Structure 1
Amino acid sequence: TQDGLYEHFKAIAQSVSLPIILYNVPSRTNLNIEPATFERLCKIPNINAVKECNLLQIPETVKRCGDELNFYSGEDGYVHFLMSAGGLGVISVVSNIAPRYMSDMVKAYLNGEIEKSWKMQVACQDLVKALFCEVNPIPVKEALNLIGFRAGGCRLPLVGMKPENREKLAAAIENFRNIGGIK
């Protein structure tokens, strides 16, 4: 429940002195942290940010929390949209294989180069789609292996990628490399 989420995060926040970034990912947890709950949570001093994957509720959450809660995109395909709503950046899967690219995209937006940032967002969409064709971390580990890092495989119950998805991922990586996205 929303009350349970509030009490859970409050207990964590009270037991540590570190800043806390909440992670709202309803597609993985089957439970959304609602704007009213964020409004309560942002009053806790060391809860100061959220990695948000539910873009539809950002306007309401911003209205309720104002500057008390910083937003980071939790969806690589929607970074530009979240930043247009006041977000500060992204906590990214893509940045595991293209850190400079994602950093440059966010910096472009923050520096007022909105069109450049948008073009970069569009250019990475095929890679984003390929990195989410199976449950993570399966695709990102495979991507790291494909670009020359020894990331190994996943532990059970996760297994290797389906061959057809691996081919799609390899093609997306090659295309992204060809436009300079992976150095």
Structure 2
Amino acid sequence: MSMDTEELQNLIASRRTCYLFNPKETMPLLDDAVYRCLNAAIWAPNHKLTQPWRFWVLGAQSQSELAEVYAQLRADKRAQPQSEAHQSIYQAAIEKFHKFPRIVLVGQVLDEDEVRRKEDYAACACAIQNLQLIAWQQGIGVQWSTGPILQSDVTYRMLGESRDNVELIGALYMGYLKGDCNTQNAKRKPVEEVSRWLP
């Protein structure tokens, strides 16, 4: 089914970053829905057709492994090691990470040329936007996180990747929307305020 211009504009304008998802036990986000999102992502514009994006879709085991990295980093940042507060924060973070219905990590293949790297990062951001839009159209929310797990050596080792070859640029937390997040972050500056029409 094709969309007319107004429908497409409404889809783009309605998309939001969402943090609340329906439980994966009752509304699981299945592989075919994630695949559909990834298939939209790879059609993003990319200069010289470098196709610099890489995706890792976590399964139950890898999500559990990464949960420990996430929780450790979160607890270390907020409390003294081996304190009660540290343990409490660690446990809460483990539970939070396990609740995400699906997690997709996004990486950028690193070109030796600095200009090409900038172009490739822009292409990866476009790919993530494509993914978010097709997800939103299916009632799937996405939170694009750039948190500390993306800088962790443990994460790179888990993925079998080298920092010299790939830079992790996003953790996409995904799930079917819970409640209405249409109203959050709904404001944008008007086009007239951010554009100039030159003669």
TM-score, normalised to structure 1, is 0.23
Structure number with greater Rg is 2
Which of 1 and 2 has higher RCO (CA within 8 Å, sep 6+)?
2
TM-score, normalised to structure 2, is 0.22
Which structure dedicates a bigger proportion of its chain to strand?
2
